[in-house]
Amino acid sequence: NAGVTQTPKFQVLKTGQSMTLQCAQDMNHEYMSWYRQDPGMGLRLIHYSVGAGITDQGEVPNGYNVSRSTTEDFPLRLLSAAPSQTSVYFCASSYNPTSYNEQFFGPGTRLTVL
């Protein structure tokens, strides 16, 4: 199993550009989530999904969009990038659709918005 994969690993955007961060898992996990990690702060939940076709907002959803058309994929879209979105982004998954479960994290995407 590849586990949780994320692409790209690094990205530089200009303010106003849009892009999609890809996340995929091959473990048939129901629960997938996106976090951002900023210096001095804990991981913060952006959006999450408890199964295909179901998504919900986390703590910091503004400026981001998600969809979950398949169990395997959970892309994160930045609609119009802003410097405040400069961060490291992690995708995570777990078998059952609750956080009361071992979490598997992707390697992260380091995004810089100029």
Partner 1 sequence: KNEVEQSPQNLTAQEGEFITINCSYSVGISALHWLQQHPGGGIVSLFMLSSGKKKHGRLIATINIQEKHSSLHITASHPRDSAVYICAVSAAHNTDKLIFGTGTRLQVFP
Nearer to partner 1, 17 or 103 (CB): 103
How many CB atoms sit inside 10 A of residue 43's CB? 15
Question: Nearer Cβ to partner 1, position 14 or 39?
Answer: 39
- Here the tokens at position 58 are 């986390």
Which CB, 17 or 27, lies closer to partner 1? 27
Q: Is 82 helix (H, G, I), strand (E, B) or coil?
A: coil
Those residues with Cβ within 8 angstroms of residue 110's Cβ, 6 or more apart along the chain or in another chain = 9, 10, 11, 88, 89
CA distance 15 to 71: 32
Give the x-and-dash track for 48-87 against partner 1 (CB under 8 A).
x-x-----x-xx----------------------------
Amino acid at 67: S
Query: In the complex with partner 1, which residue's Cβ is closer, 14 or 100?
Result: 100
> Would you count residue 88 as binding partner 1 (CB under 8 A)?
yes
List interacting residues with partner 1 (CB under 8 A).
Answer: 40-45, 48, 50, 56, 58-59, 88, 90, 92, 97-105, 107-108, 110
